[in-house]
Amino acid sequence: MTGLIEVRDLVKHFESRSGWFQTPKKVHALNGVSFDVATGETLALVGESGSGKTTAGRTVLRLIDADQGSVRFDGIDVLGADRRALKALRRRIQIVFQDPYGSLDPRMTVGASVAEGIEIHRLLAKPAIGPRVAELLSEVGLDPSAAAKYPHEFSGGQRQRIGIARALAVDPAFIVLDEPVSALDVSVQAQVLNLLLDLQQSRGLSYLFIAHDLSVVRAVAHRIAVMYYGRIVEQGPRDEVLERPRHPYTTALISAIPVPDPTTQRTRIVLPGDPPSPTVHPPGCPFASRCFHPAKNQRCATDRPELVAHGASLVACHHA
C-alpha cells in the first residue's frame, strides 16, 4: 500500500545525563518504526508515556531530527529536504499540540496567531487575510469576533479550536494531532473530536492521531498502531486491534481501561511493574518482563520478535 505519508524504520536515540560526572545514558525513543497514512485516513499511534509516540509524530514533521530511517510525504523525501523544500512541506504538514494553553502565544491576538502561517507562506495578499481568518474561525466553530481577542479570554476547548484553525490556515493535507483532547474536560472532548471528524470529511485530511486513551481513539481512527518501548508491537484496522488484539500488551492495555458500566464484570489483567525505562535495552521482547502470555518462554527473553502479518494486522510477538 502506498500512503500519503510513508514512514520507514525510524530510529531516534537521545542522550540523557543524570549527573555531571556520569556517563550519559542512551534513551532509545524510537527503535525502527514504520507506518503509512493514506489520504483521508486516520492512523492512531497509541502508547503509554515513554513509548515513543510523541517522538514519532515530531520526527515526521522534522521538529526532531531522526537518526535513521525515512519519511516520504506525497513521494517527497522529508528527512532529506533542504530549507526551501522543508518550508514548502510544512505548508502541507501541520501539527496540533496537546496543551491549548502553552501552544498559543499569549501576547498575540487570536487573529494574528491564525494569520501567521498565511503570512509566512505568502498565501494571500494583505487585504484578503482578515476575511480568510474570519472564515477559518467559523469553520472551527468560533465567532469571527474572536480574532481581536487574546488566548486567555478562551476556555480550553475554544483554545484547541484556535490551534486547529491555525493549522488549517495553510491548507494542509496531513495533520499530526498530538493528544488533542487529553487536556480537555469530558464534556468538551466530544465537541473537538466531532470537529476533527467533520474537517476530515470536508477537506479530505489525513491524521496521525497520537493518544493514550483507546476509547477516544476508537471514536476517530481507521487504523491503530500500538507502541511499546519505541516500537510498534501491533498495527491493524481499528476493530481488528480493539476486538481481536493479538499482542498481549494490546490485550492488557484494553483490559486496563476502566469501563463506565458497573454491570459489566470483566476479568482485568493487572500488569506487574512499570513500562521499561527507555535507557535499559533488553535483548529479547521488551514486553517479556511484564508479559502474562501462557506460552511465554526462553525465546522471548533472548529473541526480539519482528512485526509479522496475522490476518489484517501486523503483530510483534512470538506467540501471536
For another protein, give the closer residue by CB, 88 or 257: 257
In angstroms, give the least distance from the CB of 261 to another protein.
Answer: 6
x/- track of binding to another protein for residues 26-55 (CB under 8 A): ----------------------xx------
In angstroms, give the least distance from the CB of 87 to another protein.
Answer: 36
Is 262 a residue that touches another protein (CB under 8 A)?
A: yes
C-alpha 213/C-alpha 190 separation (Å) is: 13
Is 194 a residue that touches another protein (CB under 8 A)?
A: yes
In angstroms, give the least distance from the CB of 277 to another protein.
Answer: 8
207 SS3 class:
strand
- CA torsion sign for 148, 154, 156, 158 is negative
For another protein, give the closer residue by CB, 170 or 193: 193
Is 19 a residue that touches another protein (CB under 8 A)?
A: no
Contacting residue, 21, 270, 294, 298, with another protein by CB under 8 A: 270
The answer to whether 259 and 266 are in contact (CB under 8 A) is yes
x/- track of binding to another protein for residues 103-142 (CB under 8 A): ----------------------------------------
Ramachandran bin of 248, using left for φ above 0, alpha for ψ from -120 to 50, beta for the remaining angles: alpha
Question: What are residue 227's DSSP bridge partners?
Answer: 232
Site for another protein, residues 152 to 191, rule: CB under 8 A: 155-158, 185-191
Query: Counting beta carbons within 10 angstroms of the beta carbon of residue 186, is it exposed (0 to 12), middle (13 to 18) or buried (19 or more)?
Result: exposed
Ramachandran bin of 198, using left for φ above 0, alpha for ψ from -120 to 50, beta for the remaining angles: alpha
Closest CA to 238 of 256, 226, 255: 226
In angstroms, give the least distance from the CB of 57 to another protein.
Answer: 18
C-alpha 95/C-alpha 24 separation (Å) is: 31
* R_g of the chain computed on alpha carbons: 21
The answer to whether 182 and 213 are in contact (CB under 8 A) is yes
Contacting residue, 67, 128, 131, 268, with another protein by CB under 8 A: 268
Task: Count each helix (H run) and each strand (E run) in the chain, helices first.
Answer: 10, 12
For another protein, give the closer residue by CB, 109 or 255: 255
Stretch that binds another protein, among 33-41, 105-113, 132-140, 271-279 (CB under 8 A): 271-279
Contacting residue, 68, 215, 297, 302, with another protein by CB under 8 A: 215
Chain residues in the site for another protein (CB under 8 A) = 48-49, 155-158, 185-191, 193-194, 197, 212-216, 218-219, 242, 252-263, 268, 270-272, 274-275
